[in-house]
Structure 1
Amino acid sequence: MIRGLYTATAGMLATQTQSEIIGDNVANVRTPGYKQEDGILKAFPDMLIERTALTNGMSENTLIGSMGTGVVVDSVARMNVQGALQTTDLPTDLAFASPGFFTVQTPEGERYTRNGRFQINAEGTLQNADGFPVLGEKGPIGPLSSAFTVSTNGTVSDQGQVIDRLRMVRIPEETLIREGQSLYSSSQPAQIQNAEMGTVQIRQGAIEGSNVDISGQMTKMITVMNAYQANQKVIQTTDSTLEKAVNEVGKV
Protein backbone atom coordinates (compact mmCIF):
# COMPACT_ATOMS: atom_id res chain seq x y z
CA MET A 1 0.00 0.00 0.00
CA ILE A 2 2.80 2.39 0.90
CA ARG A 3 4.52 1.50 -2.38
CA GLY A 4 1.45 2.91 -4.09
CA LEU A 5 2.20 6.28 -2.50
CA TYR A 6 5.65 6.31 -4.10
CA THR A 7 4.27 5.24 -7.48
CA ALA A 8 1.59 7.93 -7.48
CA THR A 9 4.07 10.55 -6.27
CA ALA A 10 6.44 9.67 -9.13
CA GLY A 11 3.53 10.13 -11.52
CA MET A 12 2.70 13.55 -10.06
CA LEU A 13 6.32 14.71 -10.34
CA ALA A 14 6.51 13.50 -13.95
CA THR A 15 3.29 15.25 -14.97
CA GLN A 16 4.41 18.42 -13.19
CA THR A 17 7.60 18.43 -15.26
CA GLN A 18 5.55 17.83 -18.41
CA SER A 19 3.26 20.75 -17.58
CA GLU A 20 6.30 23.03 -17.11
CA ILE A 21 7.62 22.02 -20.55
CA ILE A 22 4.21 22.68 -22.12
CA GLY A 23 4.00 26.05 -20.35
CA ASP A 24 7.42 26.97 -21.73
CA ASN A 25 6.25 26.07 -25.25
CA VAL A 26 3.11 28.18 -24.93
CA ALA A 27 5.09 31.13 -23.53
CA ASN A 28 7.38 31.03 -26.58
CA VAL A 29 4.70 30.63 -29.24
CA ARG A 30 5.69 34.06 -30.65
CA THR A 31 9.46 33.69 -30.20
CA PRO A 32 11.11 33.62 -33.65
CA GLY A 33 12.89 30.36 -34.38
CA TYR A 34 11.69 28.65 -31.19
CA LYS A 35 11.42 24.85 -31.39
CA GLN A 36 8.71 22.96 -29.54
CA GLU A 37 9.88 20.53 -26.85
CA ASP A 38 8.20 17.45 -25.38
CA GLY A 39 8.96 15.48 -22.23
CA ILE A 40 9.58 11.78 -22.86
CA LEU A 41 8.37 9.50 -20.06
CA LYS A 42 10.24 6.40 -18.96
CA ALA A 43 8.84 3.76 -16.63
CA PHE A 44 10.87 2.47 -13.72
CA PRO A 45 11.43 -1.31 -13.88
CA ASP A 46 8.46 -3.45 -12.81
CA MET A 47 8.91 -5.73 -9.82
CA LEU A 48 7.57 -9.29 -9.44
CA ILE A 49 5.59 -9.77 -6.24
CA GLU A 50 5.61 -13.13 -4.48
CA ARG A 51 3.83 -14.41 -1.37
CA THR A 52 5.96 -16.48 0.99
CA ALA A 53 4.31 -19.10 3.19
CA LEU A 54 5.42 -22.07 5.28
CA THR A 55 4.11 -25.44 4.16
CA ASN A 56 5.11 -28.46 6.26
CA GLY A 57 7.95 -26.42 7.66
CA MET A 58 9.20 -25.50 4.18
CA SER A 59 9.19 -22.00 2.69
CA GLU A 60 7.04 -21.79 -0.42
CA ASN A 61 6.79 -18.79 -2.76
CA THR A 62 3.69 -18.08 -4.83
CA LEU A 63 3.88 -15.57 -7.69
CA ILE A 64 1.25 -12.87 -7.31
CA GLY A 65 2.12 -10.70 -10.30
CA SER A 66 4.06 -7.62 -11.28
CA MET A 67 3.89 -4.13 -9.80
CA GLY A 68 4.83 -0.89 -11.52
CA THR A 69 7.04 1.56 -9.65
CA GLY A 70 6.11 4.77 -11.46
CA VAL A 71 7.45 6.93 -14.27
CA VAL A 72 9.89 9.78 -14.73
CA VAL A 73 10.59 12.34 -17.47
CA ASP A 74 13.65 10.65 -18.94
CA SER A 75 14.53 13.22 -21.64
CA VAL A 76 13.27 16.25 -23.54
CA ALA A 77 12.75 15.82 -27.28
CA ARG A 78 12.97 18.88 -29.52
CA MET A 79 10.85 19.11 -32.67
CA ASN A 80 13.39 20.50 -35.14
CA VAL A 81 10.87 21.27 -37.85
CA GLN A 82 11.14 24.65 -39.58
CA GLY A 83 8.55 27.19 -38.53
CA ALA A 84 6.54 29.21 -41.02
CA LEU A 85 8.37 32.16 -42.60
CA GLN A 86 6.75 35.50 -41.81
CA THR A 87 7.44 38.51 -44.03
CA THR A 88 8.29 41.69 -42.10
CA ASP A 89 10.04 43.80 -44.80
CA LEU A 90 12.56 44.89 -42.14
CA PRO A 91 16.10 44.67 -43.57
CA THR A 92 17.49 43.59 -40.19
CA ASP A 93 15.18 40.55 -40.04
CA LEU A 94 16.78 37.43 -41.50
CA ALA A 95 15.37 33.91 -41.79
CA PHE A 96 16.65 30.52 -42.83
CA ALA A 97 14.67 28.80 -45.56
CA SER A 98 16.96 25.79 -45.08
CA PRO A 99 18.73 23.95 -42.24
CA GLY A 100 21.38 25.95 -40.41
CA PHE A 101 22.09 28.34 -37.55
CA PHE A 102 23.33 31.91 -37.24
CA THR A 103 26.35 32.45 -34.98
CA VAL A 104 26.48 35.12 -32.26
CA GLN A 105 29.26 36.08 -29.86
CA THR A 106 28.32 35.91 -26.18
CA PRO A 107 30.45 36.38 -23.02
CA GLU A 108 30.41 32.57 -22.68
CA GLY A 109 31.62 32.05 -26.23
CA GLU A 110 29.95 31.42 -29.56
CA ARG A 111 26.29 30.43 -29.49
CA TYR A 112 23.89 29.51 -32.28
CA THR A 113 20.34 30.55 -33.13
CA ARG A 114 17.65 30.49 -35.77
CA ASN A 115 16.08 33.64 -34.32
CA GLY A 116 16.94 36.18 -37.01
CA ARG A 117 15.30 39.21 -35.41
CA PHE A 118 18.43 41.35 -35.50
CA GLN A 119 19.15 45.09 -35.17
CA ILE A 120 21.95 47.55 -35.82
CA ASN A 121 23.51 49.20 -32.76
CA ALA A 122 24.92 52.73 -32.50
CA GLU A 123 28.27 51.57 -33.89
CA GLY A 124 26.63 50.00 -36.93
CA THR A 125 27.24 46.41 -35.78
CA LEU A 126 24.60 43.79 -36.47
CA GLN A 127 23.42 42.22 -33.20
CA ASN A 128 20.61 40.09 -31.83
CA ALA A 129 17.89 41.20 -29.41
CA ASP A 130 20.16 40.46 -26.44
CA GLY A 131 22.88 42.76 -27.79
CA PHE A 132 25.25 39.96 -28.84
CA PRO A 133 27.12 40.62 -32.13
CA VAL A 134 26.13 38.52 -35.11
CA LEU A 135 29.26 36.91 -36.53
CA GLY A 136 30.42 36.72 -40.11
CA GLU A 137 33.36 34.82 -41.48
CA LYS A 138 35.61 37.78 -40.52
CA GLY A 139 34.08 38.45 -37.11
CA PRO A 140 31.29 40.85 -35.99
CA ILE A 141 29.45 42.25 -39.02
CA GLY A 142 29.69 46.01 -39.48
CA PRO A 143 29.68 48.90 -39.64
CA LEU A 144 26.45 48.82 -41.65
CA SER A 145 24.04 51.45 -42.85
CA SER A 146 20.29 50.96 -42.85
CA ALA A 147 20.49 50.16 -46.58
CA PHE A 148 22.56 46.98 -46.25
CA THR A 149 21.46 43.85 -48.10
CA VAL A 150 21.87 40.13 -47.53
CA SER A 151 21.84 37.73 -50.46
CA THR A 152 20.27 34.27 -50.36
CA ASN A 153 23.71 32.72 -49.72
CA GLY A 154 24.34 34.99 -46.71
CA THR A 155 26.64 37.57 -48.32
CA VAL A 156 26.26 40.96 -46.63
CA SER A 157 26.71 44.04 -48.83
CA ASP A 158 26.39 47.75 -48.15
CA GLN A 159 26.39 50.54 -50.71
CA GLY A 160 27.63 48.20 -53.41
CA GLN A 161 30.52 46.82 -51.33
CA VAL A 162 30.72 43.26 -49.97
CA ILE A 163 31.17 43.55 -46.19
CA ASP A 164 31.25 39.91 -45.10
CA ARG A 165 29.32 36.65 -45.26
CA LEU A 166 27.21 35.45 -42.37
CA ARG A 167 28.86 32.66 -40.42
CA MET A 168 26.28 29.90 -40.72
CA VAL A 169 26.75 26.42 -39.27
CA ARG A 170 25.25 22.96 -39.29
CA ILE A 171 24.88 21.21 -35.93
CA PRO A 172 23.70 17.60 -35.37
CA GLU A 173 20.28 17.82 -33.73
CA GLU A 174 21.11 15.31 -31.00
CA THR A 175 24.01 17.47 -29.74
CA LEU A 176 22.04 20.71 -29.33
CA ILE A 177 21.84 22.20 -25.84
CA ARG A 178 19.25 24.93 -25.37
CA GLU A 179 20.33 28.07 -23.51
CA GLY A 180 17.56 30.57 -22.85
CA GLN A 181 14.74 31.05 -25.34
CA SER A 182 16.50 30.66 -28.67
CA LEU A 183 20.24 30.25 -28.16
CA TYR A 184 21.98 26.89 -28.45
CA SER A 185 25.37 25.39 -27.79
CA SER A 186 26.58 21.92 -28.70
CA SER A 187 27.66 18.99 -26.54
CA GLN A 188 30.04 18.01 -29.36
CA PRO A 189 31.69 21.24 -30.64
CA ALA A 190 33.94 19.21 -32.94
CA GLN A 191 30.87 18.16 -34.94
CA ILE A 192 29.84 21.74 -35.79
CA GLN A 193 30.40 22.38 -39.49
CA ASN A 194 30.41 25.64 -41.43
CA ALA A 195 27.54 25.75 -43.91
CA GLU A 196 29.01 25.93 -47.39
CA MET A 197 27.70 28.34 -49.99
CA GLY A 198 24.86 26.73 -51.89
CA THR A 199 23.72 24.59 -48.97
CA VAL A 200 21.80 27.35 -47.17
CA GLN A 201 19.17 29.86 -48.19
CA ILE A 202 18.61 33.17 -46.41
CA ARG A 203 15.62 35.47 -46.75
CA GLN A 204 16.03 39.12 -45.81
CA GLY A 205 12.97 40.94 -44.52
CA ALA A 206 11.48 37.82 -42.94
CA ILE A 207 11.69 35.80 -39.73
CA GLU A 208 11.07 32.16 -38.96
CA GLY A 209 8.11 31.78 -36.63
CA SER A 210 7.87 29.36 -33.72
CA ASN A 211 6.84 25.83 -34.67
CA VAL A 212 4.72 25.37 -31.53
CA ASP A 213 1.35 23.73 -32.21
CA ILE A 214 -0.71 25.75 -29.75
CA SER A 215 -3.91 23.68 -30.09
CA GLY A 216 -1.97 20.45 -29.64
CA GLN A 217 -0.22 21.85 -26.57
CA MET A 218 -3.54 22.87 -25.00
CA THR A 219 -4.93 19.38 -25.57
CA LYS A 220 -1.81 17.82 -24.07
CA MET A 221 -2.00 20.15 -21.07
CA ILE A 222 -5.53 18.89 -20.31
CA THR A 223 -4.32 15.27 -20.55
CA VAL A 224 -1.37 15.98 -18.26
CA MET A 225 -3.53 17.76 -15.68
CA ASN A 226 -6.03 14.87 -15.66
CA ALA A 227 -3.16 12.45 -15.02
CA TYR A 228 -1.87 14.68 -12.21
CA GLN A 229 -5.29 14.78 -10.55
CA ALA A 230 -5.69 11.00 -10.89
CA ASN A 231 -2.38 10.40 -9.11
CA GLN A 232 -3.36 12.96 -6.49
CA LYS A 233 -6.61 11.04 -5.88
CA VAL A 234 -4.64 7.80 -5.45
CA ILE A 235 -2.50 9.43 -2.75
CA GLN A 236 -5.55 10.82 -0.95
CA THR A 237 -7.32 7.45 -1.02
CA THR A 238 -4.23 5.55 0.14
CA ASP A 239 -3.66 8.07 2.93
CA SER A 240 -7.27 7.69 4.08
CA THR A 241 -6.96 3.89 4.07
CA LEU A 242 -3.73 4.03 6.07
CA GLU A 243 -5.38 6.35 8.59
CA LYS A 244 -8.19 3.86 9.15
CA ALA A 245 -5.72 1.00 9.43
CA VAL A 246 -3.78 2.81 12.13
CA ASN A 247 -6.60 4.45 14.09
CA GLU A 248 -9.41 1.88 13.77
CA VAL A 249 -8.08 -1.55 12.82
CA GLY A 250 -5.18 -1.11 15.23
CA LYS A 251 -7.63 -0.81 18.15
CA VAL A 252 -9.15 -4.24 17.53
Structure 2
Amino acid sequence: MIRGLYTGAAGMLASQTQSDIIADNVANVRTPGYKEEDGIVKAFPDMLIERTALTNGRAENTLIGSMGTGVVVDRVARMNVQGALQTTDLPTDLAVTSPGFFAVQTPDGERYSRNGHFQISANGTLQTADGLSVLGENGPIGTLSKTFTVSADGTVSDQGRVIDRLKLVQIPQETLVREGQSLYSSAQPGQIQNVGLGTIQIRQGAVEGSNVDIPGQMTKMITVMRAYEANQKVIQTLDTTLDKAVNEVGKV
Protein backbone atom coordinates (compact mmCIF):
# COMPACT_ATOMS: atom_id res chain seq x y z
CA MET A 1 0.00 0.00 0.00
CA ILE A 2 2.82 2.40 0.91
CA ARG A 3 4.52 1.46 -2.37
CA GLY A 4 1.37 2.56 -4.18
CA LEU A 5 1.60 5.99 -2.55
CA TYR A 6 5.12 6.42 -3.90
CA THR A 7 4.02 5.30 -7.37
CA GLY A 8 1.13 7.77 -7.41
CA ALA A 9 3.32 10.59 -6.13
CA ALA A 10 5.93 9.88 -8.82
CA GLY A 11 3.21 10.11 -11.48
CA MET A 12 2.01 13.45 -10.09
CA LEU A 13 5.53 14.89 -10.07
CA ALA A 14 6.10 13.78 -13.67
CA SER A 15 2.80 15.36 -14.73
CA GLN A 16 3.74 18.59 -12.95
CA THR A 17 7.06 18.73 -14.82
CA GLN A 18 5.32 18.11 -18.14
CA SER A 19 2.80 20.84 -17.31
CA ASP A 20 5.64 23.30 -16.65
CA ILE A 21 7.23 22.44 -20.02
CA ILE A 22 3.91 22.98 -21.84
CA ALA A 23 3.38 26.31 -20.06
CA ASP A 24 6.87 27.40 -21.15
CA ASN A 25 6.09 26.47 -24.76
CA VAL A 26 2.84 28.46 -24.74
CA ALA A 27 4.56 31.47 -23.14
CA ASN A 28 7.14 31.50 -25.96
CA VAL A 29 4.72 31.08 -28.86
CA ARG A 30 5.69 34.57 -30.13
CA THR A 31 9.40 34.34 -29.36
CA PRO A 32 11.38 34.36 -32.65
CA GLY A 33 13.38 31.20 -33.21
CA TYR A 34 11.94 29.38 -30.18
CA LYS A 35 11.87 25.58 -30.46
CA GLU A 36 9.05 23.56 -28.90
CA GLU A 37 10.11 21.23 -26.08
CA ASP A 38 8.61 17.99 -24.84
CA GLY A 39 9.19 16.02 -21.64
CA ILE A 40 10.15 12.41 -22.32
CA VAL A 41 8.79 10.14 -19.60
CA LYS A 42 10.72 7.08 -18.43
CA ALA A 43 9.09 4.29 -16.41
CA PHE A 44 10.78 2.72 -13.41
CA PRO A 45 11.22 -1.08 -13.54
CA ASP A 46 8.07 -3.18 -13.00
CA MET A 47 7.84 -5.58 -10.10
CA LEU A 48 6.29 -9.05 -10.13
CA ILE A 49 3.44 -9.59 -7.66
CA GLU A 50 2.83 -13.01 -6.12
CA ARG A 51 0.23 -14.35 -3.72
CA THR A 52 1.40 -16.70 -1.00
CA ALA A 53 -1.03 -19.33 0.33
CA LEU A 54 -0.83 -22.54 2.30
CA THR A 55 -1.65 -25.71 0.35
CA ASN A 56 -1.55 -28.97 2.28
CA GLY A 57 0.54 -27.25 4.91
CA ARG A 58 3.05 -25.92 2.39
CA ALA A 59 3.47 -22.31 1.26
CA GLU A 60 2.99 -21.84 -2.47
CA ASN A 61 3.41 -18.67 -4.48
CA THR A 62 1.02 -17.81 -7.30
CA LEU A 63 2.02 -15.16 -9.82
CA ILE A 64 -0.59 -12.40 -9.99
CA GLY A 65 1.05 -10.05 -12.45
CA SER A 66 3.30 -7.00 -12.44
CA MET A 67 3.10 -3.58 -10.85
CA GLY A 68 4.68 -0.36 -12.05
CA THR A 69 6.83 1.56 -9.59
CA GLY A 70 6.33 5.01 -11.05
CA VAL A 71 7.60 7.28 -13.81
CA VAL A 72 9.90 10.26 -14.11
CA VAL A 73 10.58 12.88 -16.81
CA ASP A 74 13.90 11.50 -18.04
CA ARG A 75 14.86 14.30 -20.41
CA VAL A 76 13.53 17.25 -22.38
CA ALA A 77 13.46 16.80 -26.15
CA ARG A 78 13.62 19.81 -28.43
CA MET A 79 11.63 19.82 -31.69
CA ASN A 80 14.26 21.17 -34.07
CA VAL A 81 11.82 22.01 -36.87
CA GLN A 82 12.01 25.21 -38.90
CA GLY A 83 9.50 27.80 -37.70
CA ALA A 84 7.41 29.81 -40.15
CA LEU A 85 9.14 32.86 -41.62
CA GLN A 86 7.61 36.19 -40.66
CA THR A 87 8.34 39.05 -43.04
CA THR A 88 9.07 42.34 -41.24
CA ASP A 89 10.93 44.29 -43.96
CA LEU A 90 13.30 45.54 -41.24
CA PRO A 91 16.93 45.33 -42.41
CA THR A 92 18.08 44.39 -38.92
CA ASP A 93 15.83 41.30 -38.85
CA LEU A 94 17.57 38.16 -40.12
CA ALA A 95 16.20 34.63 -40.48
CA VAL A 96 18.26 31.46 -40.77
CA THR A 97 16.54 29.17 -43.28
CA SER A 98 19.25 26.50 -43.09
CA PRO A 99 20.61 24.47 -40.17
CA GLY A 100 22.70 26.50 -37.77
CA PHE A 101 22.72 29.14 -35.05
CA PHE A 102 23.80 32.77 -34.89
CA ALA A 103 26.79 33.31 -32.61
CA VAL A 104 26.57 36.13 -30.05
CA GLN A 105 28.99 37.45 -27.44
CA THR A 106 27.85 37.37 -23.81
CA PRO A 107 29.66 38.17 -20.53
CA ASP A 108 29.92 34.38 -20.02
CA GLY A 109 31.41 33.74 -23.43
CA GLU A 110 30.06 32.79 -26.84
CA ARG A 111 26.44 31.67 -27.00
CA TYR A 112 24.09 30.71 -29.84
CA SER A 113 20.59 31.61 -30.96
CA ARG A 114 18.04 31.24 -33.77
CA ASN A 115 16.41 34.54 -32.79
CA GLY A 116 17.34 36.96 -35.56
CA HIS A 117 15.46 39.99 -34.20
CA PHE A 118 18.50 42.29 -34.11
CA GLN A 119 19.15 46.03 -33.88
CA ILE A 120 21.98 48.49 -34.42
CA SER A 121 23.61 49.84 -31.28
CA ALA A 122 24.59 53.46 -30.68
CA ASN A 123 28.15 52.71 -31.85
CA GLY A 124 26.93 51.01 -35.03
CA THR A 125 27.39 47.34 -34.14
CA LEU A 126 24.79 44.66 -34.79
CA GLN A 127 23.34 43.35 -31.53
CA THR A 128 20.46 41.35 -30.09
CA ALA A 129 17.43 42.90 -28.42
CA ASP A 130 19.24 42.28 -25.10
CA GLY A 131 22.30 44.24 -26.20
CA LEU A 132 24.59 41.28 -26.99
CA SER A 133 26.96 41.66 -29.93
CA VAL A 134 26.24 39.49 -32.98
CA LEU A 135 29.45 37.83 -34.15
CA GLY A 136 30.91 37.53 -37.59
CA GLU A 137 33.95 35.58 -38.66
CA ASN A 138 36.16 38.48 -37.47
CA GLY A 139 34.34 39.35 -34.25
CA PRO A 140 31.45 41.76 -33.52
CA ILE A 141 29.87 43.05 -36.73
CA GLY A 142 30.15 46.80 -37.32
CA THR A 143 30.30 49.66 -37.94
CA LEU A 144 26.97 49.64 -39.84
CA SER A 145 24.65 52.27 -41.23
CA LYS A 146 20.88 51.83 -41.54
CA THR A 147 21.29 50.82 -45.19
CA PHE A 148 23.47 47.76 -44.65
CA THR A 149 22.60 44.55 -46.50
CA VAL A 150 23.03 40.86 -45.81
CA SER A 151 23.27 38.43 -48.71
CA ALA A 152 21.95 34.87 -48.68
CA ASP A 153 25.39 33.48 -47.76
CA GLY A 154 25.60 35.73 -44.69
CA THR A 155 27.92 38.37 -46.17
CA VAL A 156 27.31 41.75 -44.52
CA SER A 157 27.89 44.77 -46.75
CA ASP A 158 27.44 48.49 -46.23
CA GLN A 159 27.59 51.13 -48.95
CA GLY A 160 29.29 48.75 -51.35
CA ARG A 161 31.92 47.62 -48.83
CA VAL A 162 32.07 44.09 -47.37
CA ILE A 163 32.07 44.36 -43.58
CA ASP A 164 32.13 40.72 -42.49
CA ARG A 165 30.27 37.43 -42.83
CA LEU A 166 27.87 36.21 -40.16
CA LYS A 167 29.24 33.41 -38.03
CA LEU A 168 26.86 30.44 -38.06
CA VAL A 169 27.58 27.23 -36.18
CA GLN A 170 26.17 23.73 -36.06
CA ILE A 171 25.61 22.10 -32.67
CA PRO A 172 24.62 18.44 -32.18
CA GLN A 173 21.01 18.32 -31.00
CA GLU A 174 21.77 16.12 -27.99
CA THR A 175 24.38 18.56 -26.63
CA LEU A 176 22.24 21.73 -26.73
CA VAL A 177 21.76 23.42 -23.36
CA ARG A 178 19.05 26.06 -23.11
CA GLU A 179 20.08 29.10 -21.07
CA GLY A 180 17.11 31.46 -21.51
CA GLN A 181 16.73 34.71 -23.49
CA SER A 182 16.70 32.60 -26.69
CA LEU A 183 20.30 31.56 -26.00
CA TYR A 184 21.89 28.13 -26.11
CA SER A 185 25.25 26.69 -25.23
CA SER A 186 26.70 23.23 -25.78
CA ALA A 187 27.49 20.56 -23.21
CA GLN A 188 30.34 19.53 -25.49
CA PRO A 189 31.90 22.70 -26.97
CA GLY A 190 34.42 20.64 -28.89
CA GLN A 191 31.66 19.38 -31.18
CA ILE A 192 30.59 22.86 -32.33
CA GLN A 193 31.43 23.41 -35.99
CA ASN A 194 31.13 26.41 -38.28
CA VAL A 195 28.48 26.05 -40.96
CA GLY A 196 30.01 25.62 -44.41
CA LEU A 197 29.76 28.61 -46.72
CA GLY A 198 27.82 26.67 -49.33
CA THR A 199 25.07 25.66 -46.89
CA ILE A 200 24.34 29.03 -45.22
CA GLN A 201 20.94 30.49 -46.07
CA ILE A 202 20.04 33.90 -44.62
CA ARG A 203 17.00 36.01 -45.39
CA GLN A 204 17.11 39.69 -44.52
CA GLY A 205 13.92 41.51 -43.51
CA ALA A 206 12.36 38.45 -41.85
CA VAL A 207 12.55 36.45 -38.64
CA GLU A 208 11.96 32.78 -37.94
CA GLY A 209 8.85 32.39 -35.81
CA SER A 210 8.33 29.95 -32.97
CA ASN A 211 7.50 26.39 -34.06
CA VAL A 212 5.12 25.81 -31.12
CA ASP A 213 1.92 24.00 -32.15
CA ILE A 214 -0.72 25.60 -29.90
CA PRO A 215 -3.55 23.07 -30.61
CA GLY A 216 -1.11 20.25 -29.95
CA GLN A 217 0.01 21.86 -26.68
CA MET A 218 -3.59 22.25 -25.52
CA THR A 219 -4.24 18.57 -26.23
CA LYS A 220 -1.13 17.59 -24.27
CA MET A 221 -2.18 19.83 -21.39
CA ILE A 222 -5.55 18.06 -21.12
CA THR A 223 -3.83 14.66 -21.18
CA VAL A 224 -1.35 15.72 -18.50
CA MET A 225 -4.10 17.15 -16.28
CA ARG A 226 -6.08 13.92 -16.49
CA ALA A 227 -3.02 11.87 -15.61
CA TYR A 228 -2.35 14.15 -12.64
CA GLU A 229 -5.94 13.82 -11.41
CA ALA A 230 -5.86 10.02 -11.84
CA ASN A 231 -2.72 9.72 -9.71
CA GLN A 232 -4.22 12.11 -7.18
CA LYS A 233 -7.29 9.87 -6.82
CA VAL A 234 -5.06 6.82 -6.40
CA ILE A 235 -3.27 8.51 -3.50
CA GLN A 236 -6.56 9.60 -1.93
CA THR A 237 -7.97 6.06 -2.18
CA LEU A 238 -4.84 4.49 -0.68
CA ASP A 239 -4.79 7.09 2.06
CA THR A 240 -8.41 6.27 2.95
CA THR A 241 -7.65 2.54 2.95
CA LEU A 242 -4.56 3.06 5.10
CA ASP A 243 -6.59 5.14 7.54
CA LYS A 244 -9.15 2.33 7.92
CA ALA A 245 -6.40 -0.25 8.36
CA VAL A 246 -4.77 1.74 11.16
CA ASN A 247 -7.78 3.20 12.99
CA GLU A 248 -10.51 0.60 12.43
CA VAL A 249 -9.00 -2.80 11.65
CA GLY A 250 -6.41 -2.25 14.38
CA LYS A 251 -9.16 -1.98 16.99
CA VAL A 252 -10.56 -5.46 16.28
Q: Per the shorter chain, which TM-score range? A: over 0.9
**Match status 1:94 vs 2:76:** no
Residue 199 of structure 2 aligns to a residue whose secondary structure is: coil
Match of 1:220 in 2: 220
1:84-105 CA deviation, whole Å, 9 max, x = no partner? Answer: 0000000100001111110001
Residue 164 of structure 1 aligns to a residue whose secondary structure is: strand
Deviation at 1:64, TM superposition (A): 2.5
Deviation at 1:61, TM superposition (A): 3.0
Alpha-carbon separation, structure 2, partners of 1:103 and 1:81: 19
Q: Which amino acid aligns with 1:172?
A: P
Match of 1:251 in 2: 251
1:33-85 CA deviation, whole Å, 9 max, x = no partner? Answer: 00000001111000112234566675543322211101110111100000000
Q: Which amino acid aligns with 1:238?
A: L
Match of 1:45 in 2: 45
Greater shift, 25-34 or 184-193, is seen at 184-193
Match of 1:147 in 2: 147
1:146-188 CA deviation, whole Å, 9 max, x = no partner? Answer: 1111010000011111110001111111211111042111122
Gaps of 5+ in 1: none
Alpha-carbon separation, structure 1, partners of 2:47 and 2:221: 30
Q: How is 1:33-72 mapped onto 2 (pairs within 5 angstroms)?
A: 33-53=33-53, 59-72=59-72
Match of 1:112 in 2: 112
Alpha-carbon separation, structure 2, partners of 1:181 and 1:48: 47
Gaps of 5+ in 2: none
Q: Which amino acid aligns with 2:193?
A: Q
Calculate the TM-score normalised by the size of structure 1: 0.96
Match of 2:7 in 1: 7
Q: How is 1:146-165 mapped onto 2 (pairs within 5 angstroms)?
A: 146-165=146-165
Alpha-carbon separation, structure 2, partners of 1:245 and 1:196: 69
The RMSD of aligned alpha carbons is 1.3
Sequence identity percentage: 82
Alpha-carbon separation, structure 2, partners of 1:60 and 1:250: 27
Q: Which amino acid aligns with 1:146?
A: K
Residue 211 of structure 2 aligns to a residue whose secondary structure is: coil
**Match status 1:195 vs 2:195:** yes
Deviation at 1:107, TM superposition (A): 1.0
Report the count of equivalent residues. 252
Alpha-carbon separation, structure 2, partners of 1:116 and 1:138: 19
Residue 135 of structure 1 aligns to a residue whose secondary structure is: strand
Calculate the TM-score normalised by the size of structure 2: 0.96
Q: Which amino acid aligns with 2:222?
A: I
